[in-house]
Amino acid sequence: MEAKTLLIEALDVRWRKFRAERKTCRKEFSEEAVHDLRVATRHLLALFDLLRSILHHKRVQKIRRMLKDQLDDLDELRDTQVLLVDVSEFVQELPALQAFQTALKKKEKKLLRQTRKAIETRDVDGLKKRIENVRGMLVALAEESLQDAMLAAADERFSHALHTYAAMDTENIPSIHRLRVAFKKFRYTFEIVHPILENFPESNFKRMHDYQSMLGEIQDLDVALQSVSDVLDASNPAVQPVSDHYASRLRTAVFNFVEDKGEVFTFWRNAPNQPFPWESLL
């Protein structure tokens, strides 16, 4: 597939999906609808992160900011709902989680009202016009060197991921989060550009997903640990056992990640002039 065709099709598909999920979420507001809108927003945002490296136009950056603002509207609700699902799996074996669950449900109720209002009031008319203009810019692009530009963007994101990997201290949770964010940006870029690669092993999709999931579990457990003191009064007797519960699971998640953390080097080339890891296996 030609690079320009790939980008235009990616824009059309992701923009159409975003609009459909937003319409559904406004009409039938639910946990599933919010989740689907969040995923669609993130995929569209990932495309504009890539386009920012190719088009170098302020319109692209404006669209990216608008999508990021909408994603921010959904993040706290997402974290709370993920926590509620997690609590429901352990509440029977740790009754102290009941107090945490009650407080989270109260928080969720408030966030649902805020999120619904945010979704209903966000302006997408201006977003539609800007995206149509960007599509026109893509159509006008010359195919020549576009593929190189896409691969260069992926190289840049992977290089940043390796930089955060080198700076990571597994005793320092925020440094692991920085790797998670950097790797996620690379992975989203990779998902867009991979059709232009030759002999790419399809099994890498699952491996990259699993690597991201390990980092995501650490993030979720750290958020859970921090949320205990945010939603429960310090005098509540549930604070200590619930904190201990999440601290223990967080340590285990970090330990499991450390065992496989070096796998990141197998997902992309270390430099533009080097072969891809899978090419050496052919």
Walk along the chain (282 residues) and give the pLDDT tens digit of each residue: 689 999 999 999 999 999 999 999 989 888 899 999 999 999 999 999 999 989 988 999 999 999 999 999 999 999 999 999 999 999 999 999 999 999 999 999 999 999 999 988 887 778 999 999 999 999 998 888 899 999 999 999 999 999 999 999 999 999 999 999 999 999 999 999 999 998 888 899 999 999 999 999 999 999 999 999 999 999 999 999 999 999 999 999 999 999 999 999 999 999 998 999 988 765
Which of 144, 137, 185, 139 lies closest to 161 in space, CA to CA? Answer: 185
CA distance linking residue 217 with residue 223, whole number of Å: 10
CA distance linking residue 258 with residue 73, whole number of Å: 32
Contacts of 214 (CB under 8 A, 6+ apart): 253, 256, 257, 260
> What is the architecture, at CATH level 2, of domain 1-142?
Alpha solenoid (1.40)
Please name the residue that has the structure tokens 């639910």.
30
Residues 127/44, Cβ–Cβ less than 8 Å: no
CA distance linking residue 209 with residue 205, whole number of Å: 6
Domains of the chain by residue range: 1-142, 145-277
3-class secondary structure, 116: helix
Residues 212/187, Cβ–Cβ less than 8 Å: yes
Crossing angle for the helix pair 31-55 and 3-27, nearest 10 degrees? 150
3-class secondary structure, 234: coil
91 phi, psi to nearest 5 deg = -65, -30
Look at residue 254 in the predicted model and tell me its pLDDT: 97
Look at residue 219 in the predicted model and tell me its pLDDT: 96
CA distance linking residue 227 with residue 25, whole number of Å: 27
Please name the residue that has the structure tokens 């408030």.
110
Taking residue 187's Cβ as centre, other Cβ atoms within 10 Å add up to 21
171: enclosing H helix or E strand: none
**CA-based radius of gyration for the chain:** 21
The end-to-end CA distance of the chain, in Å, is 22
Look at residue 63 in the predicted model and tell me its pLDDT: 94
